[in-house]
Structure 1
Amino acid sequence: MESLQVKEYMNHYPVTFTPDMVVEEAALRFLKTKQIGGPVIDKNNQLIGFLSESDVLSKMIETIYYNEHIADVADLMRKDVLTVKPYDSVIELGQQMLKNKPKVYPVVDDDENLLGTISRNDVLRAIDLHLRSGYKG
């Protein structure tokens, strides 16, 4: 079961954001991709934060209320991001997801370069596929 690694089930093409992106553009990216959260990266593909739909929703409500631009991604993103490595165990990640709030985790290499994301749904899919494959161990 330890052989189930994050890299086998992660999303290699997640929605990403930059710190200077306006909240309205971030909202549009969420709408187009139907993803619920995404990494914020710098120009070198280094992970610097994480943005969720709920972060954007709260500011979009303010934007419509005041009828003006309220914030950029840098103003909204979380900087204390829980990450996983591509070689981490999917099962251990699933157990971690039961204790921690994030539904989506950025996957980074040892230099903090973004490789993708993995969500609760990806973890469920990995476990389901493993169980369906007839594993009896």
Structure 2
Amino acid sequence: MAVSVKRGAPRTEASELPIAPMIDVVFLLLVYFMVSSSIQKQEADIGFSLPAVVKTSEPVSFPDEQVIEIDAEGRAWVNGYAYDDPEEASYLKLAQMLSRYREGAQASQSSARVTIAPSDSTPHQMVVRVMDACQLAGLESVSFAVE
């Protein structure tokens, strides 16, 4: 038995992948996952309240005063931390810290007092800047210490 093979003309039969059923399956999977997923609230939708200042009936222990030391270069030090650069026109960071100190003293029903302790070689301009920072912070009880 002999098998005859035709040579010459190439096969025109194309092997194609059926796309229509694949699109149907993908669409069904998409619908399934959309229906089965749960909707979660975003963080912006969650309501919360921030803590506020609470007035107490009795005074809380709070530092009686803050001592601002000014070195010879004009840098202001409070509790071992230097505030602002002496080259700047004003002590804004010091004023912000003193303002928070004043608010904390008011919340604890105590008085906010500041003592300025310049060194012997501190320029007077730097002492005036510290006094301006105290005024910006709204402090009324400011005193001076001498060595």
Larger radius of gyration: 2
Which structure has more RCO (C-alpha within 8 Å, separation ≥ 6)? 1
